[in-house]
């Protein structure tokens, strides 16, 4: 069974390498802004947004793949929610700086939508996981150093918790889910589909 990760995220690749001996990477080419417009009034619902984007990424990849052997495809989308506002990827470092300074001494929700596609069963399974973190009273100097030293424009909410783990207390959820792979949820859904992670990894 071929395992395909539909994401170019380095964090997700590292997590997949822990759970799967072999996997390939195929990136979706959807226009996320255009795709979000399809949600209409639901584009303000972070769970709907994350799940829908993960599904559309999977749909896009499946259309492009020409596989004769069975495969499992996994796609993801992660958003950060702060004070009711959905934070996608910041457009530049200054926007990321503004966001992170506002995060201080406050809670954020990190929501990851995921889609599993089984070619063997021709079925999409869509789900989500929600984590809560508390952003500590981090000094402006540390925040600025983190932003200036990292490609924060690539990360939802400007956050890469595996790099800035000292900035946060995890209130609910797992590191893997916060990075963008809710493995516990994936295992349950794979089991429902009739797959054992130990057998396919």
- What's the confidence (pLDDT) of residue 32? 85
pLDDT by residue (tens digit) across 168-186? Answer: 999 999 999 999 999 999 9
pLDDT at 201: 64
Q: Is 111 exposed, middle or buried (0-12, 13-18, 19+ CB in 10 A)?
A: buried
- Sorted by where each starts, the structural domains of the chain and their CATH numbers stand as 2-200 (3.90.950.10)
- Please tell me the distance from the alpha carbon of residue 160 to that of residue 41, in angstroms, as a whole number: 29
- Say if CB 180 and CB 194 are below 8 A apart: no
pLDDT tens digit sequence for 150-170: 999 999 999 898 899 899 999
How many CA atoms are closer than 13 Å to the CA of 152, on its beta-carbon side? 25
Q: Which residues of 5-21 are buried (b: 16+ CB within 10 A; e: fewer)?
A: bbbebebbeebbeebee
Rounded to whole angstroms, how far apart are CA atoms 37 and 41? 9
Alpha carbon distance 70, 133 (integer Å): 38
Q: What is the pTM of this model?
A: 0.92
The 3-state DSSP class for residue 106 equals strand
Residue spans of alpha helices (H) in the chain: 10-19, 32-37, 46-64, 93-103, 140-149, 175-179, 183-193, 197-200
> Are 80 and 89 in contact, with CB atoms under 8 Å apart?
no
Helix boundaries (H) for 69-115: 93-103
Q: Which residue has the tokens 């822990």?
A: 18
Residue ranges in the chain whose pLDDT is less than 70? 201
User: Do strands 168-172 and 123-135 pair parallel, antiparallel, or not at all (unpaired)?
Assistant: antiparallel
């Amino acid at each position: 069974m071929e395992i395909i990760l539909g994401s170019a995220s380095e964090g997700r690749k590292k997590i997949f390498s822990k759970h799967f001996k072999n996997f390939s990477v195929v990136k979706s080419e959807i226009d996320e802004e255009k795709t979000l417009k399809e949600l209409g009034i639901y584009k303000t619902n972070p769970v709907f947004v994350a799940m829908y984007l993960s599904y559309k990424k999977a749909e896009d990849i499946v259309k492009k793949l020409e596989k004769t052997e069975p495969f499992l495809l996994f796609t993801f989308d992660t958003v950060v929610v702060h004070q009711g506002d959905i934070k996608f990827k910041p457009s530049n470092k200054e926007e990321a700086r503004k966001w992170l300074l506002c995060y201080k001494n406050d809670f954020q929700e990190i929501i990851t939508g995921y889609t599993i596609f089984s070619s063997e069963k021709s079925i999409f399974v869509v789900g989500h996981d929600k984590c809560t973190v508390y952003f500590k009273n981090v000094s402006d100097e540390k925040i600025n150093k983190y932003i200036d030293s990292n490609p924060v424009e690539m990360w939802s909410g400007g956050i890469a918790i595996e790099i800035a783990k000292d900035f946060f207390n995890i209130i609910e959820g797992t590191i893997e889910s916060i990075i963008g792979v809710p493995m516990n949820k994936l295992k349950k859904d794979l089991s429902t589909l009739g797959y054992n992670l130990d057998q396919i990894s």
